[in-house]
Amino acid sequence: MDIRQAFAAEHSKRQTAAIIEYIGADPDRFAELMKIFFAGDYRLTQRAAWPMNYCAERHSQLIQPYLPKLLKLLQRDDQHDAIKRNIARLLQYVDIPKKLHAQVYSLCVELVDNPQEPAATRVFAMTAAARIAKKHPDLWSELQLIVASHLPHATAAFQSRAKTIL
């Protein structure tokens, strides 16, 4: 299967499922997907994000080499909301190496603390930050304060996730 051609031909749940099945746990096939994701073409990046998430969720070892590059994308202000949302979603499911805990926590807290970010991005980031903060009690207290400060004006999704996490 040519993943790039598959994205060009159709964007559907069925097509995404076929790509996920094709990639499986194969790091070379996943590398092909990530090459498309990082290529910068807006449409293809968005389309690649969906199977990237599911592949990483099923086989978290596949995403490990790409985490630093994904975090760099998350830091950029020029990224479409969908890219940030998909990276934040992914971070809530994968094992974050200890050496990246501080960076991931910091980026996720920035997203949670920014009311201009879409609700989905904020709640995914909250979950990822909480997974790290639970291992570091000082961070846990900080995250609780930040989340609590947004509760009075937060969306239902944010409030629900906050209740679940906290």
Q: Three-class SS of residue 108?
A: helix
pTM of the predicted structure, to 2 decimals: 0.91
Q: What is the mean pLDDT of the chain?
A: 94
Contact between 132 and 97 under an 8 Å Cβ cutoff? The reply is: no
Per-residue pLDDT, 4: 92
What does the pLDDT look like over 68-119, one tens digit per residue? Answer: 999 999 998 888 888 999 999 999 999 999 999 999 999 999 999 999 999 9
* pLDDT band, residue 125 (cuts 50/70/90): very high
Radius of gyration of the chain from Cα atoms?
A: 16
**Residue 33, CA atoms < 13 Å, CB-side half-sphere:** 29
What are φ and ψ of residue 64, in 5° steps?
-50, -50
Per-residue pLDDT, 80: 84
pLDDT of 61 higher than 90? yes
Contact between 158 and 123 under an 8 Å Cβ cutoff? The reply is: yes
